[in-house]
Structure 1
Amino acid sequence: MSAVAYELLSTTAVISTVFQFLSGAMICRKYIQKKSTGDSSGVPFICGFLSCSFWLRYGVLTEEQSIVLVNVIGSTLFLIYTLIFYVFTVNKRAFVKQFSFVLIVLVAVIIFTNRLEDQRDQMIHITGIFCCIVTVCFFAAPLASLLHVIRSKNTESLPLPLIATSFLVSLQWLIYGILISDSFIQIPNFLGCLLSMLQLSLFVVYPPRTYSGQGYKLVEQAVPF
């Protein structure tokens, strides 16, 4: 692939990922309008912050500017979403505990890998493993909704635009990972492509009879990279 094509891929991957990150703004807008988070969970925002922070660390270590840029934006956005959720949630104590746990994990991994500064390859390898684990866990989050769709034979609760976007984002980063020969980027995004394709196939098997808008609530389950 030419340098121009490579730059085009990395640029479009960053842009599409940032737009996917911005889906959280729609959710926060609802919280602000209602002045309440209702029965929503703030875990996706917290986990999004953790995921982007890990990938930001990985991008800095590997000197991949595209990874750094997209995750600087992502970690900033998810931190803002987290703060908005905190302002409007009733159960602030539980939310603070969840966020504190994530911060402890993040700081502990950074401190641990910093001790391997003389072994840079191992430092990158361990950080990459944590990035993969966190991202794969997030991709697994929608599986419960898939089971509901299969049982009910109805895809009305699935957000089609978000799933299609997730597939595009995962595919772009998968190709990017292949081009730079980085298995830590390839693995989670390959799994992300498979999950998105599975979700999209359900729209063919169980076409929605009507659209009730229920899928909007599921937007907060998607934590991309």
Structure 2
Amino acid sequence: MATLSFFVGVIGNIISVLLFLSPLGTFCRIVKHRTTEEFESFPYICTLLSSSLWTYYGVTKPGSLLVATINSFGVVVEIIFISLFLVFATPRVRAKTATLVAVLNVGFLAGVMLITGFLLHGDIKIEVIGFLSAGLNIVMYGSPLAAMKRVVSTKSVEYMPFLLSFFVFLNGGIWTFYAVLVKDVFLATDDDQDLPTRD
């Protein structure tokens, strides 16, 4: 069973790489036009926090190297995306984005790491980190709703590309299967979504 779970985890990592890189076209457009237009940074901030927590979970829980490696990659990708967003955003949007990054990706993450690192030990530490990581995915699931609203109001799927939706679907399926194989209830909720959305 370990061989099957490892194989499924590797496939999950490959799909997750494609998912993390799926907004590349959006950021090429931002760089080309030298503006973030009406794109929203919140999904990328949430994905950075989620990837950071899942990396911490993967490093903390024995046998979760595949979770740690893919989410470490996600952290790097999201830092690049958010940095580009900060460079090309208007001053008001830049200030809002920087504040969210400071509060969520620095403050909240540091708080979680300090509390779990110094006050919790063993299985309870792993469970708290897993619970927080899984809970954050609820916020991530809600962040693409702005894109769906735009799709309905404009009757255009320009901001909800097929490949992005396809990789979200595959990613959710493969990581749920992996979670069943390794009997990890927290991973069953981890569908790393990184959807470009507009206000």
Name the CA distance, whole Å, in 2 between partners of 1:148 and 1:85: 20
State the AA in 2 paired with 1:179.
L
CA contact (8 A) 1:13 1:169 kept: yes
More divergent stretch after superposition (136-145 vs 22-31): 136-145
Percent pairwise identity: 23
Q: Where has structure 1 moved over 6 Å in runs of 4 or more? A: none
Distance 1:38 1:90 in 2: 9
Whole-angstrom CA distance in 2 between matches of 1:116 and 1:180: 27
Q: Does 1:109 align with 2:108?
A: no
> Do the aligned residues in 2 keep the contact of 1:56 with 1:68 (CA within 8 Å)?
yes
Q: Contact 1:135 / 1:188 at 8 angstroms: preserved in 2?
A: yes
Instruction: Report what 1:77 is aligned to.
Output: 77
SS at match of 1:131: helix
User: What's the CA shift for 1:7?
Assistant: 2.5
Aligned partners of 2:156 and 2:30: how far apart in 1?
25
Q: CA deviation at 1:46?
A: 1.4
Normalised to the residue count of structure 2, the TM-score between the two structures is 0.86
Aligned partner letter, 2:142:
A
Moved more, 42-51 or 55-64: 42-51
RMSD: 2.4
Which 5+ residue runs of structure 2 have no aligned equivalent? none
- Superposition deviation, residue 2 in structure 1: 6.1
**Does the 8 Å CA contact 1:113/1:127 hold for their aligned counterparts?**
yes
**Distance across 1 between alignment mates of 2:144 and 2:95:** 26
The reply to whether residue 89 of structure 1 matches residue 109 of structure 2 is: no
Question: 5+ residue gaps in structure 1?
Answer: 197-217
Match of 1:209 in 2: none
State the partner residue of 1:176: 178
3-state secondary structure, aligned to 1:115: helix
The structure whose RCO (Cα within 8 Å, separation 6+) is larger is: 2
| 1:44-88 superposed Cα distances (whole Å, 9 cap, x missing partner) | 221111110000000001131100110110001100111111111
| Change beyond 3 A, Cα 1:73–1:168 | same
Q: Are 1:9 and 2:8 counterparts?
A: yes
What secondary structure sits across from 2:36 in the alignment?
coil
Aligned equivalent of 1:26: 25
Give, in angstroms, the shift of residue 93 of structure 1.
2.0
| Separation (CA, whole Å) in 1 of partners of 2:27 and 2:150 | 26
How far, CA to CA, are the matches of 1:188 and 1:57 in structure 2? 14
| Pairwise CA distance, 1:27 | 1.6
Residues 75-132 of structure 1: per-residue CA shift (max 9 Å, x gap): 0110011111111111222221111111101111111111234x21111111111101
Partners of 2:182 and 2:37 lie apart in 1 by: 43
CA deviations 1:2-54 (Å, max 9, x no partner) are: 61x33321111101101110113222111111111112111222111111000
Distance in 1 between the 2:55 and 2:133 partners? 10
After TM superposition, give the deviation of residue 171 of structure 1 in Å: 0.6
TM-score scaled by length of structure 1: 0.77
Q: For 1:44 and 1:143, how far apart are their aligned partners in 2? A: 10
In structure 2, the residue matched to 1:98 is 100
Query: Is the contact made by 1:159 and 1:219 (CA closer than 8 Å) also made in structure 2?
Result: no
Q: For residues 79 and 2 of structure 2, what CA distance do their matches in structure 1 show?
A: 36
Computing the radius of gyration from Cα coordinates, the structure with the larger value is 1
Aligned counterpart, 1:52: 51
Pairwise CA distance, 1:160 = 2.5
Q: Judge conservation of contact 1:116–1:122 (CA < 8 Å) in 2.
A: no
